[in-house]
A and B are shown apart, each in its own frame.
Chain A
Amino acid sequence: MAEIDYGKLGLKVGLEIHQQLDTSTKLFCNCKPQLFKGEPEITFLRRLRPTQSELGQVDPAAYFEFQKGVKILYESSNMAACLVEMDEEPPHALNMEAVETALTAALMMNSKPVDEIHVMRKTVIDGSNTTGFQRTCVIALNGEVKVGEKTIPIQHLSLEEDAARKTGEEDNKARYRIDRLGIPLIEVATAPVITSPKEAEVAAYTIGRILRATGRVMRGLGTIRQDVNISISGGALIEIKGVQELETVNLVVENEVQRQLNLIEICEELKKKGVKEEELQEQFLEVTNVFRETKCKVIRKALEKKNVVMAVKLPKFRDVLKRELLPNLRLGTEMADRARFWGKVGGIFHTDEMPAYGVTEEEVNLLRKAVDAEESDAAVFVADSHENCRDALVAVVERAREAICGVPEETRAANPDGTSRYMRPRPGAARMYPETDIPPVQVSEELIARICSCLPESSEKKLERLMREFKLNLKLAGQVIDSEYGGLFDVLVRESGVSPTVVAAFLTETLKSLKREGVDVDAVRELQIRDVFRRVGSGELSKEALADVFVWLSRNEGKGVDEAVESLGLKAVSDGELRTLIDRVVAENSRLVEEKGEGSFGPLMGIVMRDLRGKVDAGKVSRLLKERLSKRG
C-alpha cells in the first residue's frame, strides 16, 4: 500500500481519553471501586424512558429503543454496589479525593481549574447507567500538552462516573453489571487538531503519562479507554468509542481513514452507475416459501419458530455489498450491523455472498425472481419476526441510500483488532442538565495552591532522573514511564535492592510478554509484587524465579507468596544444604574432578544448577563450588 499523505486528505483527529481512578471509594458513594466475578447476588429489571433534550426533542434512536420495549436486566453484588448505583438512593457528595486527583492532572496540563464545579447529567439511555444519565463535571478548561514540537490544546478535563458494563443481550433484554458504575473517570478532551495516526498515538501516550504520574490511576484492561473523533475532507465526522489499548490508536485512525476512502470510492462508482436514492424503495416482500425446504440452518431455525423470511431489492447494487472496506468488513457488514441495531435481528443475507451458508443456487434464483431483481441488482434477505424483518430492512435500505451520498455520520464502537462497528446514530447536541442532588463544589485558591506545591514529577523529569539515578538507557526508561506499573519502579528498587535494570526489564518486557501469553497480570496485587521483589533482594528467591512466581500468583488469586514458593518447590536452600549438595556432587563425580581438577567446574556447575534452578542464585552456587574445588583433597 502506498504511503498515505494524511495532510492532503485533510485528516483531523480529536481524542477523548478516559482513565479510571484508583480512589478509595467511588465518585458518589462509599463503595470500593472494584468489580465482581461469578453469579450476581442481586438482579433487577428496568426500562428507561427517553426524556426531552434541551431543544425539546426526543432522541430518535432512544425513542426507537423504548418503543421496541427494550428492558435492562441489572446484575449486582453487595460487595461492589449499594443503593446509589441501583438508582435507589440519591448520590452522596462529590468524592474530593477524585477531585484533587483530577485537579492535579489538570494543573500538569496547564489547564485552568474552574472556580466552582457543577455536576451535570448527560442523558444516556442504552442502559449503561441505571439513572438514564451519566454524571459528569468540568474540573478545568484550556490546557495543553506538547507532542514533539506541536502544542495540542486540551479543551477540558472532566470528572465523571464510569458506566455499568454490558454482560449480554438476549430477546430485547440487555444485561449490565453495575459494579463498574460510579468508578471515577477522568476525561481529557483534545481539540481536533491531530493530523496523523502517529501523532494521535503519541498524543494518547503523552496524556496517559500525565494521568499515571498522579499515582492514582487503575491499571489493567479497560481501565483506560479512548474515544477517537476522525474526519477527512469529503468524508464525515466519525466518533469511535472505547479503544482499550493505547497502542492501537494509530491503527484505529489508519483503518477509519481507509474505510472512509473506500466508502467515498463506492459512492463515486454508484454515482457513475447512475443509482438514485429514490430507486431504493422500502418494498419488502415475504419470501418464506422460497426457503420451505432450505438446508440453511439459520433460516430453518427461524422458520421452526414460525418466523418469516423477508427480502428487499437493491437496484444496481450487485457486487457492491461485497466490496471490502477493511479486511473482514464489507459494505454488507455495515448493513448487517445496522439491521442488528434497528431490527434486533441476528444478521442479514445478501446475494453478493450467495450461494453460501447452506442457501442453494436455486434458492437464490427463486429469491431474485421473487423480488424482481435484474442481473445488476442485489437483494438482501433476513429471517426473523415480521416486525423485526421490516425494521432490519428499513435500516438496510437507509444504509444503501447513504452509500450513494458517501460516508454517513455515526457513532462506532472499536473492535479489539483496530477496526470498528456501527454503534448508533450520532447523538444530537450535548444533552446535559444540572444534577440538582449534588451541591456545587467551590475550588478555593488555597486548594489550588496546596496541590500546586506538591505536583508529581513530570514525565520528562522522571525520564531524565531514571537515566541519571538508575543508569537506565533511554529506551528502558521510556518504557518504565509508559508502563502501567511504572509507578512501582522506584518503590521496588528502594525496597528490594534488586538491580534497577532487572526491575525495569521485569516491569516492562517480562510483564508485556506474560500478558501476550495470556497470563492475567492484573490479578497479582501490588503488595505481592513488592513482596516477591523483597525476597529476590534478600537472596531468598533467585531473579530467574520471578516470572514463575508471578504466573503462579496470577492463577491462584487470593493466595500468598509463601504458598507460591512452597508450591513451586522454590523453598530457599541454606548455605549448609548447598554445601552438602556440592559435596555429594563432587563425590559422585570424583573421577572427573581428579582428571580435570578445577577444569571440572563447568560440568559440575551444570549438574548442581539442574537440581537447584530457581532456588539459589547462580552466583552463590558458583562461588561455593569454586571454593570447594580449590579446597579439594
Chain B
Amino acid sequence: MLDRTSGSLLEISDLQAWYGESHILHGATLHVNAGEVVTLLGRNGAGKTTTLKSVMGIVGKRTGSVRFEGRELINASSNAIARAGIAFCPEERGIFASLDVEENLMLPPQVRAGGLSREQIFDLFPNLRERLRSQGTKLSGGEQQMLAIGRILRTGARLLLLDEPTEGLAPVIIQQIGNTIRKLKEQGFTILLVEQNFRFASTVADRYYIMEHGKIVEQFANSELSKKLDTLHEYLGV
C-alpha cells in the first residue's frame, strides 16, 4: 500500500512510550523526508525529548512503529538503531567529563562511510580545534553544544536528532548553530530538530509539527507559517 509518507527517511506512527508506569507518548505520528529539516515544537513536558529518545530506543518501553529507510526499529536495541544510521544529540549535551575534547569528538564510532572529516568539523566549529586537550566539560556551554553536534557528524549517520541545540546559548552562538544546520542540510543531512525557540526554528525548518500531551496536534510547512501564527501562540503560549 502506498501512502503519503511512504518513501520517507523516518516514519513514526502511533508511537507510545512509557517511563516506568508513566505513559508519556500517546500515539505520535510524524515523518521526515530525506534532506528535510523538520522541527518538533511544543510546551515544556509535551513529550518532544521522549519522542527523540523513543526513536533512539532509550525510553523504558515503547510501542507503535519507527521505520528508518523502510526498516522497522521499534524493537531494536539503541546500539543497533545508531548502527542503522541515526545519530542523537541530547538536550543535556552529554559531554563526558572523564574524556578530553578530542576523545569526546572521536567517541561515536563510524556507522557508515561518508561522515565529515575532522577538518570539516573544525571548519564548522573552529573553537574546538584550539581546545582539543581540554577536559570536555571545561568548555563553555556553546562550545559543548558544538562538540555535541560535531561528534555525531563524523559517524556517517544521515539522520540527526537534535534536542534543543540553542537552549541557554547567546544569540551569536545560536546564529552559528543556525548556519551550521543550513550547511548540513545543503550537504544532504536530514534533521529532526526539537526546539522551544520558535524564531530560531523558523530560520532553518522546512516543516513543523506541534506536540501536546504526547500527541501531534498540528503540522504545517514553512510557507504556511504566517497563517499559522495564531495557532502557534495558542499551543505554545508564546
B and A form one assembly:
no
A residues apposed to B, CB below 8 Å: none
